[in-house]
């Protein structure tokens, strides 16, 4: 659908450097819900399977011996020429970049095409320190050109109120910086039957410091002493996997902690339906990184599974303390263990919190309603 002519859906270029990552299914889920716009995926690399029938164009497709030098040069200069070459024959009405880092690269493309740029901020792009950003070759241009993005970008959508407050604090324009929850597909994720529940504590996260996995393992060592029939399932991969496995063995709980690796989204949801609870004890890292919201918390709520998470960042927007789950101080393993134990002891509490979580996502985080609002944002930019 390259032209987007009269009576047809208009094309929107969904821009993400590393497309289709298993940890970022929320990007394609949002794009696939569009009804009056048609997504074209644009980026550097594909790191997973594109949605069936989707058009995707990445710099690595340009091929030949010059593919990687071209990618590296584009990372350094932000020259839009390679992306314009990929878009030859397509006429997107606007570009929607995910993450602020990607927004600074999408900006020259949008300017060259003369179309609006929407950028969604998800977390690290609003919280990571400037020093940490500058230390990464992939992110170094972001703090250098973030001010330009703030001045010239057309709309900045924030995945939580917490992220919006952070962006306003670093100078983004209030009128163009808006809260927009991406949400979860409440039609596709139905509440589970209570009979599906097992005595499993579930943790779904990339194994990096900000997710607080080591504190969960520490808390589970306490829980395991009281409950012999409970295990901990960890879905995800990352650089901390080996140290976390060593920690579990050293605490004598290695046999009761299952490291399941990264799983396809459908399998994650299947495991979630069996869980007694989801636990995400996120922390503020030494580089300033903080959880923007935690999409997995919303997916658990949609499934009817209660959550325990840290009272930090945007998490309190997705977990209502003592209603849909529990919030605990970050890094407090004793408090975390106590709340896990309370849920394990009281099945009625788990069911009640799970039901309230489902009601919360239906009211505030339904993907279809939120995507309708997104299309209204697109419309307003094109009218203007």
Per-residue pLDDT in tens (0 to 9) along the chain, 384 residues: 344 444 578 999 999 999 999 889 999 999 999 999 999 999 999 999 999 999 999 999 987 767 888 899 999 999 999 999 999 989 999 999 999 999 999 999 999 999 999 999 999 999 999 999 999 998 999 999 999 999 999 999 999 999 999 999 999 999 999 999 999 999 999 999 999 999 999 999 999 999 999 999 999 999 999 999 999 999 999 999 999 999 999 999 999 999 999 999 999 999 999 999 999 999 999 999 999 999 999 999 999 999 999 999 999 999 999 999 999 999 999 999 999 999 999 999 999 999 999 999 999 999 999 999 999 999 999 997
Please report where in the chains the tokens 């011996």 appear, as a residue.
Answer: 65
What whole-number distance in Å separates Cα of residue 118 and Cα of residue 60? Answer: 24
Q: What is the pLDDT of residue 7?
A: 54
The pLDDT value recorded for residue 133 is 95
How far apart CA 201 and CA 216 sit, in angstroms, is 10
Containing H/E element for 209? none
115 neighbors 381 (Cβ within 8 angstroms): no
Query: DSSP character for 325?
Result: E
3 state SS for 179-203: ECCCCECCCCCCCCCHHHCCCEEEE
Q: How far apart are the first and last CA of the chain?
A: 24
Look at residue 69 in the predicted model and tell me its pLDDT.
Answer: 87
**C-alpha radius of gyration, the chain, whole number:** 21
| Contact criterion met (CB below 8 Å) for 281 and 312 | no
pLDDT at 101: 97
Residue 255 is encoded by which pair of tokens?
């046999």
Spatial contact of 348 and 326, defined as CB atoms under 8 Å apart: no
Residue with token string 């139905």: 190
Task: Say what the pLDDT of residue 70 is.
Answer: 85
> 128 is written with which tokens?
């990571």
Domains of the chain: 10-183+366-383 (3.40.50.2000), 194-364 (3.40.50.2000)
- Residue in this structure with the two tokens 């006429």, named with its chain if needed: 91
The answer to whether residues 118 and 381 touch, using CB atoms and an 8 Å cutoff, is yes
Tokens of 80: 């839009």
What is the C-alpha to C-alpha distance for residues 204 and 257, in angstroms, rounded to an integer? 13
């Amino acid at each position: 659908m390259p032209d987007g002519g009269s009576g047809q859906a208009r094309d929107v270029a969904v821009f993400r450097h590393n497309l289709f990552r298993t940890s970022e299914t929320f990007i394609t889920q949002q794009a696939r819900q569009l009804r009056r716009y048609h997504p074209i995926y644009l980026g550097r690399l594909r790191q997973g399977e594109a949605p069936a029938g989707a058009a995707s164009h990445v710099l690595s497709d340009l091929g030949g011996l010059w593919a990687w030098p071209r990618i590296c040069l584009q990372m350094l200069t932000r020259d839009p020429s390679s992306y314009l070459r990929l878009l030859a024959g397509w006429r997107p009405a606007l570009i929607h970049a995910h993450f602020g880092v990607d927004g600074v690269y999408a900006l020259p493309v949008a300017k060259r095409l003369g179309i609006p740029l929407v950028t969604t901020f998800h977390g690290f792009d609003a919280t990571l320190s400037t020093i940490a950003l500058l230390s990464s070759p992939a992110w170094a241009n972001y703090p250098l050109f973030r001010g330009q993005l703030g001045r010239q970008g057309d709309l900045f959508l924030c995945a939580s109120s917490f992220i919006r407050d952070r962006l306003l604090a670093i100078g983004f324009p209030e009128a163009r910086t808006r809260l927009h929850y991406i949400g979860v597909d409440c039609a596709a994720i139905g509440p589970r039957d209570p009979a599906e529940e097992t005595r499993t504590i579930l943790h779904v996260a990339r194994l990096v410091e900000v997710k607080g996995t080591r504190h969960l393992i520490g808390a589970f060592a306490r829980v395991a002493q009281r409950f012999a029939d409970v295990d901990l399932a960890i879905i995800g991969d990352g650089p901390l996997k080996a140290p976390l496995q060593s920690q579990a063995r050293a605490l004598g709980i290695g046999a009761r902690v299952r490291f399941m690796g990264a799983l396809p989204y459908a399998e994650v949801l299947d495991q979630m339906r069996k869980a007694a609870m989801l636990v995400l004890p996120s922390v503020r890292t030494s580089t300033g990184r903080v959880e923007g919201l935690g999409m997995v918390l919303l997916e658990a709520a949609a499934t009817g599974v209660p959550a325990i998470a840290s009272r930090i960042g945007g998490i309190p927007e997705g977990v209502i303390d003592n209603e849909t789950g529990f919030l605990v101080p970050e890094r407090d393993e004793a408090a975390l263990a106590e709340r896990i134990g309370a849920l394990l002891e009281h099945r009625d509490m788990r069911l009640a919190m799970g039901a309230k979580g489902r009601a919360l996502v239906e009211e505030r985080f339904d993907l279809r309603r939120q995507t309708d609002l997104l299309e209204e944002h697109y419309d307003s930019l094109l009218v203007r």
